[in-house]
Amino acid sequence: MASGLVRVALAFLVLSFALLALYRNICWVSIVPAAFGAAIVFSLSSPLLLFVGWEIVSWTIFFSIILRGSSGGTESVPVVASRKNVVYLYVSFAALSAVFMLMWIFLSHFSYKSPYFYLAVVASVIKGAIIPFHLWLVPVYSSMDLSFTAFNSAVLSKLGLIVILLPLYLGADYSGVRNAVESFGLEVNFIRIFILLSSFTALYAAYRAVLTEDLVELLSYSSLSQVGYIFAGAFLSLSSGKDVASMALNGTMLHALNHALVKIPFFMLAYFVERKYGTTSLSETGGLYKKSPVLFFLVLPLAISLAGVPPAGGFVSKWLLYTSMLRAGYYVSFFLLGVAGVLSFLYVYRFLHSLFFERLKKDSLKEDDFLELKWHFLPTGVASVMTLIVGVKPSLVTNLLSSAIPEPLSLNVEAHLPTGSIAFAFLLLVIFSAFLWKISADHRYVPDTDNYTSAAVRLDQNPEISYDFSYGFYMPLKRPFRWLCYLNPEKLYDVLWEYLRDGLSYLRTLASGRFTDYIFYISIFAFVMLFVGKVFNTPCFLMIRKIFSFVGGG
């Protein structure tokens, strides 16, 4: 079964890489090493190699952020400084994740089956940018070459997922994930907490995506939201009975696939917009439908999938995740994911409206600039067809995934959800509607500037007049949800920094410069570590003990 998971994961990597390679101007220098690192992680050969692959990916991201600004030094100082801050931000979280991974590897003696597996899970949660470890994702995605962001969003965000699923495939001991603090006499079901955090991540990120005015931020927050869905489903598949676990696992895998199929074309479209328009502000883009109506119809199934609307694949995967949450009794998590699903409909519409239908204030772009859009047709079309296949006949895809799904957890999706009937009925009804439209009275096409309001401003004669409703599309939602600002996870870091700063200023007073004082402090620390309470079996103490025994030669 583990070999099946490896095959499916590597096939997923190859598919994503192949889709991306069909575009022009992708950042090979970043994507190739990152794909190599991801392949090592997905191969699940040993914990140490998994860590090596993990770090190759992290270092590729560091350098891709730095290298993006190194083209001729034309960027302003604030932009260069902000990019450095993004690197430091990502280094902090990547280092934290690496520390947990190393602790797991070191304490488990390079074995997947050890009671310290929960440390790897924490590392995965950090890598997956689940709240409160989400701060790095949006700045990092915005600071890299967007073709690499596409790969990052589609593939690299799933590295943590494969580690979380290890208990199902390699017999990794996840009892510690359920209760990592037994040694303190506490009983805390961490799986429930992770599911709740993942669901809250999905909701919070979707809310931020609705309110943002930047295209790349919208797609980045959307990615964060979908990762929340995926991680919630993955944790649920570990913790529940067979029926619920099979729904959750199938939903997770389908959602991971749908997410990759959607995000690669969307980020590549954002890449095109950034280069040709010089901006990614949603109120300053537009007009893509007039330049390339074919592209709009190829993007539409992907947008529908992201919103979770049938007959696209996103509907199936979201339905599986929702239903498994309800059947397992995770009502709060279901509610959070459900509201996130409604919010996804809002930001998907904003994406389509701003990119394709808003009027460009000043269309100074040449026809040649849009020839590159033709390179988007094939990969976008392939992704659209695949997501429609998942939505109409999900059993085809789950059969392909069957080698990666343990036999007791396999699921015939169509026995639970009549996707075929929905799609077939919808298709017939659309054909009937088109027929009715055709036989009704005649019609003629007029330019979009010929409308109810245009007579006052003569938009056809004054194209530079901005008469679109484009800025602050969902601004009325900011006021009712200002209470959400008080739940802003970023503020948690501000509070922690204030306490840390105050604490560090106290510690500064302890730096007396006297050797005897330092011996006293180390003695107090050693006394606490060795003799107080139930710390003997914590990873921290064991690490210290191993270091002492190594230093002492015994």
Partner 1 sequence: MSVLYLLYAFVVGAFLVGFGMKISARVKRKYGPPVYQPLMDVIKLLSKRSISHGLVQDLGVWMALAGSALLVLAIPVSPFPFINLDLIAFVYVSAIASLGVALGTAQVANPYASIGMARALMLMLGYEVPVLLTVVFFYFSLGTATLADLATLQKEGWFLFKYPLLSAGYYLALLAEMGKPPFDVVTAPSEIASGPMVEYGGKYLGFLVIYAFFHTFVSTALFAVLFLGGGTWWEVLLKQLVLYFSVVVVASSFPRFVSEKAVVYQWIVPSLFVILNFVVVAS
Q: Token digits for 460?
A: 């056809």
Q: Which is nearer to partner 1, 436 or 495 (CB)?
A: 436
Q: Which long-range contacts (CB under 8 A, 24 or more apart) does 10-18 make?
A: 10/39, 10/42, 10/43, 12/42, 12/155, 12/158, 12/256, 12/257, 12/260, 13/38, 13/39, 13/42, 13/155, 15/260, 16/151, 16/154, 16/155, 16/260, 16/264, 17/151, 17/155
Q: Which is nearer to partner 1, 345 or 370 (CB)?
A: 345
To partner 1, the closest distance from the beta carbon of 413 in angstroms equals 12
To partner 1, the closest distance from the beta carbon of 432 in angstroms equals 7
Phi, psi angles (nearest 5°) of residue 108: -95, 5
Q: Which is nearer to partner 1, 445 or 515 (CB)?
A: 445
**Position 436, amino acid:** L
Distance CA 158, CA 13 (A): 10
To partner 1, the closest distance from the beta carbon of 6 in angstroms equals 33
To partner 1, the closest distance from the beta carbon of 339 in angstroms equals 7
Biggest CA-to-CA distance, the chain: 97
Rg, Å, the chain Cα set: 26
To partner 1, the closest distance from the beta carbon of 520 in angstroms equals 57
To partner 1, the closest distance from the beta carbon of 412 in angstroms equals 15
End-to-end CA distance of the chain: 41
Q: Nearest to residue 402, comparing CAs of 249, 259, 244?
A: 249
DSSP-derived 3-state class of residue 279 = coil
| C-beta of residue 390 within 8 angstroms of C-beta of residue 258 | yes
Rounding to the nearest 10 degrees, give the CA dihedral for residues 130, 131, 135, 141: 30
H-assigned helices in 69-145: 77-107, 117-127, 137-143
Q: Which is nearer to partner 1, 296 or 375 (CB)?
A: 296
- Residue 474 CB-density burial (10 A; 0-12 exposed, 13-18 middle, 19+ buried): middle
To partner 1, the closest distance from the beta carbon of 473 in angstroms equals 5
Dihedral sign from CA coordinates of 530, 535, 536, 538: negative
Q: Which is nearer to partner 1, 445 or 550 (CB)?
A: 445
- Residue 264 CB-density burial (10 A; 0-12 exposed, 13-18 middle, 19+ buried): buried
Q: Which is nearer to partner 1, 187 or 442 (CB)?
A: 442
Residues 6+ apart with CB under 8 A from 30: 60, 63, 64, 67, 144, 145, 148, 151
| C-beta of residue 18 within 8 angstroms of C-beta of residue 134 | no
Q: Which is nearer to partner 1, 57 or 209 (CB)?
A: 209
Q: Which is nearer to partner 1, 331 or 493 (CB)?
A: 331
To partner 1, the closest distance from the beta carbon of 233 in angstroms equals 15
Other CB atoms within 10 A of residue 398 CB: 21
Q: Which is nearer to partner 1, 185 or 476 (CB)?
A: 476
Dihedral sign from CA coordinates of 135, 217, 232, 57: negative
Distance CA 356, CA 336 (A): 30
| C-beta of residue 392 within 8 angstroms of C-beta of residue 311 | yes
To partner 1, the closest distance from the beta carbon of 319 in angstroms equals 6
Q: Buried b vs exposed e over 171-197: b needs ≥16 C-beta within 10 Å?
A: ebbbebbbebeeeeeeeeebbbebbbb
Q: Which is nearer to partner 1, 74 or 453 (CB)?
A: 453
To partner 1, the closest distance from the beta carbon of 301 in angstroms equals 12
To partner 1, the closest distance from the beta carbon of 203 in angstroms equals 12
Q: Which is nearer to partner 1, 154 or 298 (CB)?
A: 298
C-alpha dist (Å) from residue 176 to 245, 305, 408:
19, 36, 24
To partner 1, the closest distance from the beta carbon of 158 in angstroms equals 24
Distance CA 314, CA 312 (A): 6
Distance CA 225, CA 131 (A): 11
To partner 1, the closest distance from the beta carbon of 341 in angstroms equals 8
Q: Which is nearer to partner 1, 483 or 515 (CB)?
A: 483
To partner 1, the closest distance from the beta carbon of 332 in angstroms equals 9
Q: Which is nearer to partner 1, 108 or 354 (CB)?
A: 354
Q: Which is nearer to partner 1, 342 or 528 (CB)?
A: 342
